[in-house]
Amino acid sequence: MVWQFDDETLSLFERGLRLRLRVAGNGHSEFTLKVANQHCARLGPQLVPPREGKCEYDMYDTGTTGAVSLTRALSPKETNDLVSGRVAPAQLLSQSQMRYLREVVGIWPLPTAIRSLGPLRLQTYRTEPPTYDIDISQLPDGDRYGEISRKVPLRDASKAMDVLKGDLSRSGVEMCADQSSQAGNKLRALIRER
């Protein structure tokens, strides 16, 4: 299960921020802050500690952009408190997540109206080489989104995109017209369901 966190106007998303909670079967979870439009080469390890985060480039047919992800593990109790609204998301952020929001993004404290949105059911499939991850997200209303990704060094991204398009074409899979990130569409759908 995956929960997203934002307010009714998606003020975090509009600033390039996403708060996501991925819950494992045992109740433990990962609480991730993802920040879009970042310059990975300019960020030092003090802002993105190796064991807590990463900066990588997301490439879509519409372009390439850097994104920072900082993750903190939560206990089953913290997970339940967060999803139920007993604890605000800001109370469970790690020191690294708060520091990034304050020093890089310039947002602290977080807006108080942030709440849980979801859950989304996420199923991930992995292909044989070339290895692709296929994520199928299902919203509570039954709508589904499919995304295919592959991790490669930045220098190989354009070639990997061409290979992916060729593999899809040979498999008879048609790419949808909108090749941008679908995060905003999912969040808007979750807001409408409230």
For the stretch 112-153, pLDDT in tens is 999 999 999 999 999 988 789 999 999 999 999 989 999 999
Same domain, 58 and 7: yes
pLDDT at 21: 98
Same-domain check for residues 143 and 129: yes
CA angle 86, 117, 111 (to 5 degrees): 65
Do 96 and 9 fall within a single domain? yes
Q: Which residues contact 133 (CB under 8 A, 6 or more apart)?
A: 124, 125, 126, 148, 149, 150
Q: Which of 102, 117, 132 is the last residue of a domain?
A: 117
Whole-angstrom distance, CA of residue 126 vs CA of residue 114? 33
101 and 74 housed in the same domain:
yes
| Shared-domain flag, residues 57 and 94 | yes
Q: What pLDDT score does 67 carry?
A: 96
Among 99, 117, 135, the domain-final residue is 117
- The separation between the first and the last C-alpha atoms of the chain, rounded to the nearest angstrom, is 17
Residues 35 and 73 in one domain: yes
Boundary-marking domain end, from 117, 137, 158? 117
Q: Are residues 17 and 34 in the same domain?
A: yes
- Residue 72 near residue 100, CB atoms below 8 Å: no
> What confidence tens digit (pLDDT) does each residue in 16-60 have?
999 999 998 777 899 999 999 999 999 988 999 989 999 999 888
What whole-number percentage of the chain has pLDDT above 70?
99
Q: What is the pTM of this model?
A: 0.91
User: If you average pLDDT over every residue of the chain, what do you get?
Assistant: 92
* 67 and 40 inside one domain: yes
Residue of 60 and 4 predicted with greater confidence: 4
Confidence band for 156, pLDDT divided at 50, 70 and 90 = very high
Whether residues 94 and 33 fall in one domain: yes
Same domain, 20 and 91: yes
| Number of independent structural domains in the chain | 2
What domain range is 86 assigned to? 2-117
Q: How many Å apart are CA 98 and CA 77, to the nearest integer?
A: 21
Mean pLDDT on 155-169: 91
Categorize the per-residue pLDDT at 194 as very low, low, confident or very high, splitting at 50, 70 and 90: confident
Claim to verify: residue 71 and residue 158 sit in the same structural domain? no
* Judgement on whether residues 111 and 151 belong to the same structural domain of the protein: no
